[in-house]
Structure 1
Amino acid sequence: MYSSNMWDIQLPSITQLISGILVLTVANVLWTLLYRVYFHPLAHIPGPKLAAGTFLYQTYFSLVNGSRFYAQIGKLHEAYGPVVRITPDEIHLSDPANYETIYHVGSKYAKYPRYYNAFSLKYSSFTTCPNDVHKLRRGPLNQFFSRKMVLELEDVVQSKAQKLCNLVTQKLSVGQAVDLHHAFRAVSIDVITEYGFNKCYDLLDKPDLGRHFFLMVRGIGPSLWVYQQWPQLQIANNLPPSVLKKMSPELAQVLTLQEHAREQIVDVKADLDAGLTKHNARQTIFHGILTPSPEEGYVVPSVDDIKDEAYGILAAAADTTGNGMTVAAYHVVNNPEIYKKLRAELKTAFPDPDARLNFTELEKLPYLTGVVKEGLRLSFGVISRLARVVPEGGATFNGHYVPAGTAVSMSSWVLHQDPNYFPAPQEFNPERWSKASPAEQRHMEKGFVPFGKGSRICVGMPLAYCELYVTIAMLFHRFEKLKGNQLTAEDLVYDDYFASHHPINATKFHVIKG
């Protein structure tokens, strides 16, 4: 007979079970770290071992003491060279010669899902990763942001720049300072909402010049880096908006801005469904997206899908162009010699003080062009890195082979400060452009990427250039003596929320009568 004791099973205690789980967890973590640092296909790429071992290296510099991972990447290149491993599966490049390899028309380098999915914009062409899908979604936008369309609708830009100058006149006449930081951004949003929705937000008429709106846009920042670190947390986006808003002030701001965007799309769709255009207005960007396309494979998206596209366009307009104008104007106002030369060129080209400053004529002015380009160069457009996936067959960068599937990125922060392309790179110097030979111009253009390049170049670039030229020219053509406030180094530093943002409590750029 078998003893009953033979069937007795000694179950582990709860303490033993928890201890075993902890041991296995620690062992798994240690093995993952060892694998990433010493055995991973990217183990041969230079860089700090902590960055190779864990995504927390990136997250720390993105969330602690401001979002400054972009600056840390610059320091890593100084220490390790032109190819640096910045996360377990991503390398960053600093050599501008590699830019054309990755970001060219027809590139097979798709956007990196872990990076772009964190924006939580499932439909937006900006965050669409597969190149073939992006082509379909981007197509309807291209015609509305083409140079031809921008020139046809230049009056929209002219009217907003004129309104800005009228505001400056009004404020200065009663001895008040003008908040150009928010005013320039208001110009950009008022242009894009009239241009895109036929329903201007009129932020230039608001007492705070839209400051609350821009805080909403900024709200996406922290959640972006959290979702990159822990992609699984994006499941929270499926919760009711009312719950999400209570969970996080930042998410509340994002959701409110998305609701703004959705309202505009609903209005446009109702307009189309009724077979007419409200306000006797023209076709807009979103009329075009909601209209069936002959392009094979194009499916008219839903209102909720287009909401993502609208949100992406609003967020892009909120800071990139406005920041370029702010940087340009700040340096002009605080450098009397630059101010004098710019005024002289504008007054020579347009001697009539009431002349219309046409975009096509302004583009021909070399010194103004230098001011615009330096404003873009030192505002960096998108300060964050642009992450792509190495296609089948792998790639070699500066002697380092990386396999297919590797994330590879480059950034304007590094390229725009490369002294091989821009001597004395931190100096705002319009003459580096206005006095450059054609060969020197072509050389600088290789390192000048405020809008990116290739198939994924910023769709709004033609409109942005029109806003920059017209607004900067009109302001300094009209006002002979503007005096700027003094800003500290910390006021001028950038936080990386994809676009460049100054710290939330930083003193903003104002002008008074000089």
Structure 2
Amino acid sequence: MELLQSILSTWPLLATLLPLTLLYLLLTTLLTYFRPSLRSLPGPFLARISSLPRLWTCYTGSQHLHHLHLHDKYGPFVRVGPNHVSFSNPSLIPVVYSISSKFVKSDFYTLFDIKTPAGAMPTIFSVRDEAVHKGFKRPVAGAYAMSALRELEGGVDECTEIFMGKMEERVGGEVDLGVWVHWYAWDTITTLTFSNRLDFMAREQDIQGIISAINARLKYNSIIGQAPWLHKYIFGNRFAAYLATFIPSLAILNSSKYIVDFTAAQLRHHQSLDSKPPSSPSEGPGHRPKAGYPDMLSRFRRSPALSSSELLSHATGNIFAGSDTTAASLRSIFYHLCLSPSALSTLQNEISTASAKGNLSDPVTFAEAQALPYLQAVIKEALRMHPAVGLLLERLAPSPEGLTLPNGIHLPAGTVVGMNPWVSARDPLVYPSPYTFKPERWLEASEEELKLMERNFLAFGGGSRTCLGKNISLLEMGKLVPQVLRRFEFELAEPGKEWVMEDYWFVQQRELVCRVKRREGGMKEG
């Protein structure tokens, strides 16, 4: 009875607050919907007033396809959020993503910052301030130059040799090629970075659960990154993060510390190698590679300008992105070659001809791979068909000028704008028959057509924020693909079954199950 009287006594207050609250929500919704300039852009109604559509499509791992659908329906400029605009017009690419662009990264990238002993710190990928980015990049840029990476070919060759041996064991059977190229990429990046091949391939497993940890964190970053302010209430909040440690399904999503700790352990391992001779044999974890080449971390450590926290940041960046991009690209290469017998035959003939002329070593060198034009076209086309990143490359319209779109609509400073690499790769005016795998397009294009295709090619980002690890990926792909195809053939185990894709920043593929055959007339184990 007392409870009822208490409720009745507060009813006049509730009766007053409820209409005011509803009025406030209505006004907020209307102000968001009719935000200056953005109100003129087409887009789904709910996306104009809420982040829910972006959160949902990201949660389902399908945002790359969602953006393609939106541009097919609404045109070159689509309002995909209360303050978010996606564009497909290629004329904006050099404006937004050029080296001299004033468009900085949005708060989406804050989710990719890491925690170090010195406190929170961005990685070279996540840093938003362009001046800081330049200073951050300068001490390590040389280690990513192709001339420096080619000194590390011995490490790539060691990993390729293991991969080849594992495929040899499976001739006549089936293999999940997607899993194997992921393990290959992981063994290679840890070898090149730390001189410590962790033997994912040899042990045929996810070592220390690091792949699962990164996949989980990418999922969290991608979803919550659609509304970055949510992070401070979830894993950006100490108490919430602590509670999550008691719930396994949530703890793995908050794996940022685990990833940093994993990298820190690799740094300590690398420092312990200083007392070991560079020529010690590579028989497993804890040994320098056979050739004793200078790994990337050795180059990083030469710079006195790098603090220990910055060194950790750079190494973590390598680990976080150095395998998934390459693995996704390798899957795309082999998958599309399986689906295109004519392209596969042309590439095999190019490899065989070069080998017969004595132009291919065993293993294939990067320089030799560069001299195979059809191989390079296959790699380029596979990256176009399946860009590794499938979310908006978000940038902020600069202050105070904002951005005037080609249709005359002016977007105020602070508007989040961007292009999805999957959208740029499917522009029919740039790439005729964009859903067709056609390596020849890169060889037959005129100079003007090639320039346009290159401008739209965002597989590695663009401008000053082009993926720093681009050359690592190109080195691995250029060497592995011809080496594998000169000895083996792969056929899809279920030709009519498409692979499964999940878009959590990187568009990862699953179920690339293939039958392994030894290529007739191909190389055999020597």
The residue matched to 1:314 in structure 2 has which SS? helix
Listed one character per residue, the Cα deviations across residues 93-132 of structure 1 (whole Å, up to 9, x for unaligned) are 101221111111132111001x111334332111111111
Q: What is the correspondence of 1:293-332 to structure 2 with a 5 Å cutoff?
A: 293=304, 300-303=306-309, 306-332=311-337
Q: What is the correspondence of 1:156-235 to structure 2 with a 5 Å cutoff?
A: 156-172=155-171, 175-208=172-205, 212-224=209-221, 225-229=223-227, 230-234=230-234
Q: Are 1:431 and 2:431 matched, yes or no? A: no
Q: Taking structure 1 as the reference length, what is the TM-score of the superposition? A: 0.86
Distance 1:16 1:205 in 2: 72
**CA distance change for structure 1 residues 28 and 475 in 2, over 3 Å: closer, same or farther?**
same
Contact 2:348 2:486 in 1 (8 A): yes
Distance 1:264 1:20 in 2: 61
Q: Taking structure 2 as the reference length, what is the TM-score of the superposition? A: 0.85
> Residue 511 of structure 1 corresponds to which residue in structure 2?
515
Contact 1:269 1:290 in 2 (8 A): no
Q: Which amino acid aligns with 1:422?
A: Y
Shift of 1:34: 0.4
Where structure 1 has 5 or more consecutive residues not aligned to the other structure, the ranges are 1-9
**CA distance change for structure 1 residues 27 and 302 in 2, over 3 Å: closer, same or farther?**
farther
Shift of 1:469: 1.2
> Residue 282 of structure 2 corresponds to which residue in structure 1?
none
Q: Which amino acid aligns with 2:421?
A: S
**CA distance change for structure 1 residues 265 and 335 in 2, over 3 Å: closer, same or farther?**
same
> Residue 137 of structure 1 corresponds to which residue in structure 2?
136
| Aligned residue among 398, 408, 417 for 2:406 | 398
**CA distance change for structure 1 residues 219 and 20 in 2, over 3 Å: closer, same or farther?**
farther
Distance 2:48 2:32 in 1: 6
Shift of 1:41: 4.3
Q: What is the correspondence of 1:315-394 to structure 2 with a 5 Å cutoff?
A: 315-351=320-356, 355-392=362-399, 393-394=401-402
| Aligned residue among 31, 43, 46 for 1:47 | 43
Distance 1:165 1:11 in 2: 75
Listed one character per residue, the Cα deviations across residues 121-161 of structure 1 (whole Å, up to 9, x for unaligned) are 33211111111111122223311111111111122222222
Q: Which amino acid aligns with 1:162?
A: E
Distance 2:128 2:270 in 1: 27
Listed one character per residue, the Cα deviations across residues 183-210 of structure 1 (whole Å, up to 9, x for unaligned) are 1112221111111112122211122366
Shift of 1:20: 4.7
The residue matched to 2:503 in structure 1 has which SS? strand
Contact 1:145 1:460 in 2 (8 A): yes
The residue matched to 2:491 in structure 1 has which SS? strand
| Aligned residue among 472, 485, 490 for 2:493 | 485
Distance 1:270 1:123 in 2: 27
Distance 1:417 1:228 in 2: 23
**CA distance change for structure 1 residues 12 and 37 in 2, over 3 Å: closer, same or farther?**
same
Shift of 1:373: 0.9
Distance 1:180 1:39 in 2: 49
The residue matched to 2:156 in structure 1 has which SS? helix
Distance 1:270 1:207 in 2: 26
Q: Are 1:101 and 2:95 matched, yes or no? A: yes
> Residue 256 of structure 1 corresponds to which residue in structure 2?
258
> Residue 473 of structure 1 corresponds to which residue in structure 2?
482
Contact 1:179 1:508 in 2 (8 A): yes
The residue matched to 2:431 in structure 1 has which SS? coil
Q: Which is worse superposed, 12-21 or 452-461?
A: 12-21
> Residue 67 of structure 1 corresponds to which residue in structure 2?
61
The alignment-based identity, stated in percent, is 25
The residue matched to 2:322 in structure 1 has which SS? helix
Contact 1:343 1:476 in 2 (8 A): yes
Shift of 1:245: 3.1
Shift of 1:407: 1.0
The residue matched to 1:251 in structure 2 has which SS? coil
| Aligned residue among 90, 104, 111 for 1:118 | 111
**CA distance change for structure 1 residues 511 and 437 in 2, over 3 Å: closer, same or farther?**
farther
Shift of 1:264: 1.4
Contact 2:189 2:319 in 1 (8 A): yes
Listed one character per residue, the Cα deviations across residues 236-295 of structure 1 (whole Å, up to 9, x for unaligned) are 4535976433340432554433321121133446678x99999675554444545554xx
Distance 1:465 1:106 in 2: 25
Contact 1:350 1:357 in 2 (8 A): no
The residue matched to 2:34 in structure 1 has which SS? helix
Distance 2:200 2:94 in 1: 38
Distance 2:235 2:155 in 1: 40
> Residue 128 of structure 1 corresponds to which residue in structure 2?
127
**CA distance change for structure 1 residues 212 and 337 in 2, over 3 Å: closer, same or farther?**
farther
Contact 1:227 1:234 in 2 (8 A): no
Distance 1:254 1:195 in 2: 22
Q: What is the correspondence of 1:254-293 to structure 2 with a 5 Å cutoff?
A: 254-268=256-270, 283-290=294-301, 292-293=303-304
Distance 2:72 2:446 in 1: 30
Shift of 1:45: 2.2
> Residue 3 of structure 1 corresponds to which residue in structure 2?
none
Q: Which amino acid aligns with 2:88?
A: S
The residue matched to 1:501 in structure 2 has which SS? strand
> Residue 32 of structure 2 corresponds to which residue in structure 1?
36
> Residue 4 of structure 1 corresponds to which residue in structure 2?
none
Q: Which is worse superposed, 212-221 or 387-396?
A: 212-221
**CA distance change for structure 1 residues 395 and 39 in 2, over 3 Å: closer, same or farther?**
closer
Q: Which amino acid aligns with 2:512?
A: K
Distance 1:433 1:11 in 2: 73
Shift of 1:441: 2.2
Q: Are 1:56 and 2:52 matched, yes or no? A: yes
For the aligned residue pairs, the C-alpha RMSD in angstroms reads 2.9
Shift of 1:443: 2.6
Distance 1:240 1:259 in 2: 20
Contact 1:325 1:468 in 2 (8 A): yes
**CA distance change for structure 1 residues 150 and 289 in 2, over 3 Å: closer, same or farther?**
closer
**CA distance change for structure 1 residues 339 and 89 in 2, over 3 Å: closer, same or farther?**
same
Q: Which is worse superposed, 327-336 or 50-59?
A: 327-336
Distance 1:269 1:234 in 2: 35
